[in-house]
Amino acid sequence: MSESWIVVGAGSAGCVVANRLSAQPGRRVTLVDCGPALLPGGVPAGVAGSSFFAALQEPGRMFPDLLATRATGIPATVYQRGRGIGGSSAVNAMVALPGSESLYRGWGWSDCAEAWSRVQIPAELAATSELGAVDQALLCDDRAEPLKLTRQNGKRVTSAEAYLWPVLDRPNLTVRSEAPVARICIDARRATGVVLDDGSELEADHVVVCAGAIHSPVILLRSGVDTPGIGSGLQDHPSVVFTLRLREEAHHASDGLPIASALHASVGSDVLQLLPMSHIGPARETAGLGAMMAALMTPTSRAGSVGISRSGTPVVNFALLDNAHDMQGLVSATRLALDLLRSTAFDQIVERIYIDDRGTTIEALTGESSIEAWVRTHCGDYVHATSTCAMGTVVDDDFAVAGYQNLYVCDASVFPSIPDANTHLPTTMLAERFGLRHLRDV
């Protein structure tokens, strides 16, 4: 007897889940996503290229109306989540970092080694010829290192390419793009399918929500799922950015690789990250500009939340600097960046360093109070939303939603807390854990 599964969301987790579930012939799997398709021979130029700035500009590849408040006193702006088959893996910076093994062990995840061994996302270093001047300047510091990127032979590999394309011929797997889910059908606290925005209903024995840490709780809340904790505990990596006016000889092609290196440092229990950008996109007004991002990779605040408006749209507040620890951590990351930007290596490539869009320069940061004031009013995110359906609170160790049958969540929303790394690879590993736990004969 066969059983049917619906997987909602075809990003870093959903592509893996659909692949692993459909590996069992006795399962009929339908993968649905609200955005555009990503098929062999049909990859948009921006997604196929080296720059995530170009990928984000491809039609339908992000949510233009998704607004988020980062911190108190900072106006809400667009949150650049990936959309469509491949999700954020089609538009991210391709940074391939696994995160801390000790963190996963602390959560009681004893199967991570096996899950990592199943990950099909390739990773490789950029060619030396691809490194821009900002990467090269950062690498003059002994603490910096080249980054592995989710590429193969110099080309981005999305989750769709790694996990869906090899199995598109499976007769028990259906992939539907441009099919936004309005809600999950619930009967006597058992998931029985989904209703799409157009009113059509897809029936299933099991539903796995893989729509990401913003939209998974939104779909659950719109469906009337009342498990405590849904939407609570939202986290991201708080960050600040310095804009660099590069000397002419340091200009980098706007379609080139923006990021190929990083610097990680520890201050007490905190992990700090500096990410250089050798260009910041193709727009005429950004020509000749680069950037340096400084981030706290180990935030502790859990005051962020995702809710829904009366019309069912997301209401997102990260509350990134809600506690003194995170504020001090981001100040430490800022100081680290300031020291580096004042080094000889950067002096040789940078004409001027700006700290806002009004032309204020780095010289305005004269002491501790000015740094703290700037951080508080210019804090941003890394687009690494997590933990809004946390394991141990909303879902159990098998990813099942507490209080419901045949309803699961598997994406970055189930991390008990945010990993200390860019979240694409950890989310892929997480989805492989789902596959292992649901690997059985039907």
Interatomic CA distance for residues 204 and 32, integer angstroms: 13
Is residue 404 a contact partner of residue 190, using CB atoms and an 8 Å limit? yes
Interatomic CA distance for residues 189 and 118, integer angstroms: 33
Quote the pLDDT of residue 1: 63
Cβ neighbour number for residue 168 with a 10 Å cutoff:
12
Is residue 134 a contact partner of residue 347, using CB atoms and an 8 Å limit? no
Interatomic CA distance for residues 91 and 324, integer angstroms: 33
Residues 354-360: what's their mean pLDDT? 96
Which amino acid appears at position 117 of this protein?
S
Per-residue model confidence as pLDDT tens digits over 368-404? 999 999 999 999 999 999 999 999 999 999 999 999 9
Task: Look at residues 2, 94, 19 and name the one whose alpha carbon lies nearest to residue 55.
Answer: 94
Quote the pLDDT of residue 225: 98
> Which DSSP string do the residues of 18-80 spell out, in sequence order?
HHHHHTSTTEEEEEE-SS----TT---HHHHSS-HHHHHTSTTSB-TT-EEE-STTSPPEE--
Task: Look at residues 94, 138, 154 and name the one whose alpha carbon lies nearest to residue 291.
Answer: 138
Rg (CA), the chain: 21
Quote the pLDDT of residue 344: 98
Q: How many CA atoms lie within 13 A of 289 on its CB side?
A: 17
pLDDT at 441 exceeding the cut of 90: no
Q: Angle at which helices 368-378 and 324-341 pack, to 10 degrees?
A: 110
Interatomic CA distance for residues 194 and 191, integer angstroms: 8
User: Which H or E run contains 5?
Assistant: strand 3-8
Quote the pLDDT of residue 439: 84
Classify 3-63+77-121+157-229+386-437 by CATH class.
Answer: alpha beta
Task: Look at residues 271, 193, 237 and name the one whose alpha carbon lies nearest to residue 71.
Answer: 237
| Average pLDDT of the residues of the chain | 97
The residue extents of the domains of the chain are: 3-63+77-121+157-229+386-437, 125-151+239-298+322-378
Interatomic CA distance for residues 94 and 257, integer angstroms: 10
Provide the terminal-to-terminal Cα distance of the chain, rounded to the nearest Å.
7
Q: How many CA atoms lie within 13 A of 227 on its CB side?
A: 29
Interatomic CA distance for residues 100 and 297, integer angstroms: 11
Interatomic CA distance for residues 90 and 84, integer angstroms: 9
Residues 240-252: what's their mean pLDDT? 97
Question: Domain 125-151+239-298+322-378 carries which CATH code?
Answer: 3.30.410.40
Residues 41-49: what's their mean pLDDT? 96
Question: Computed from CA positions of residues 200, 438, 413, 81, in that sequence, does the dihedral angle turn out positive or negative?
Answer: negative
Instruction: Based on DSSP, count helices (H) and strands (E) in the chain, helices before strands.
Output: 12, 23
Query: 440 falls in which pLDDT band (50, 70, 90)?
Result: low
Lookup: tokens for 69: 């408040």
Per-residue model confidence as pLDDT tens digits over 95-106? 999 999 999 999
Looking at per-residue pLDDT, the higher value among 424 and 442 belongs to: 424
pLDDT at 34 exceeding the cut of 70: yes
Tell me whether the CATH fold assigned to 3-63+77-121+157-229+386-437 matches the one assigned to 125-151+239-298+322-378: no
Is residue 303 a contact partner of residue 53, using CB atoms and an 8 Å limit? no
Percent of the chain with pLDDT over 90: 97
Coil, strand or helix at 267: strand
Is residue 234 a contact partner of residue 68, using CB atoms and an 8 Å limit? no
Quote the pLDDT of residue 126: 97
Distances (CA, A) of 138 to 98, 99, 292: 21, 21, 10
Lookup: tokens for 34: 């609200």
Per-residue model confidence as pLDDT tens digits over 270-290? 999 999 999 999 998 999 999
Is residue 375 a contact partner of residue 364, using CB atoms and an 8 Å limit? no
Per-residue model confidence as pLDDT tens digits over 136-191? 999 999 999 999 999 999 999 999 999 999 999 999 999 999 999 999 999 999 99
Query: 2 falls in which pLDDT band (50, 70, 90)?
Result: confident
Report the predicted TM-score, pTM, of the whole model to 2 decimal places: 0.97
Interatomic CA distance for residues 56 and 45, integer angstroms: 11
Quote the pLDDT of residue 442: 42
Interatomic CA distance for residues 142 and 144, integer angstroms: 6
Rounded (5°) CA angle 165-171-173: 55
pLDDT at 89 exceeding the cut of 90: yes
Residues 33-56: what's their mean pLDDT? 97
Interatomic CA distance for residues 366 and 104, integer angstroms: 40
